[in-house]
Amino acid sequence: MINHIDLSSVLRRTVCDLYSDLVTRPTGAAVRDGIERQLAELGDRTLTVIDFSHVGLLDYSCADEIVAKLLMRYTRADAVDATEQPPRDAYFLFRGVSESHLDAIETVLDRQALAIVAQATNGTVMLVGRVGDSERRAWEVMFRLGRAVPAELAREAGVDVPQATELLNELCRRRLAMRFEESYVAVGGTT
């Protein structure tokens, strides 16, 4: 099931109903908390569209709190400490991302070596943040293929099957692809 969270609604509900800009760390932390509370009401496995369409300005501090810190919670699949384990198997598509939002988001993702799938205001779906060439190519092939197994990715991307499996598992850990039993889907490819 795909869930939808309108950031401007979360902002108005959690911080102030007069605001339309996502600025300052306390605001970002409050909005992230609002997102987490909504996620907690959903299932253990979720794909959530985080919608920036009605957000005016996004500054670096807020982008760090909302995008980077949110993502960091769900990409620690290898965490030894139970308190650092992801609370659920959550995936995100960031929609309605404008050029000025991208500036802040790219910066904070790069700092934390993270990446997201974003849909620009013109509908284009893209990877944003720090992604290696082989990961990017794998995600792009998967986005084009739709649901696929490692052997299909291997054939299309010109890699061997173990490499394709490894790439897909890494994309899943980074929340850029989802696994369904033996097959995989690129986040953004099915919405």
Which residues contact another protein (rule: CB under 8 A)? 16, 19-21, 23-27, 56-61, 64-65, 68-69, 99-100, 103-104, 107-108, 111-112
With respect to another protein, which residue has the nearer C-beta, 26 or 162? 26
With respect to another protein, which residue has the nearer C-beta, 63 or 178? 63
- Least Å distance between CB 115 and another protein? 15
With respect to another protein, which residue has the nearer C-beta, 78 or 181? 78
The separation between CA 35 and the C-alpha centre of its own chain, rounded to angstroms, equals: 13
- Least Å distance between CB 61 and another protein? 6
- Least Å distance between CB 23 and another protein? 5
With respect to another protein, which residue has the nearer C-beta, 59 or 89? 59
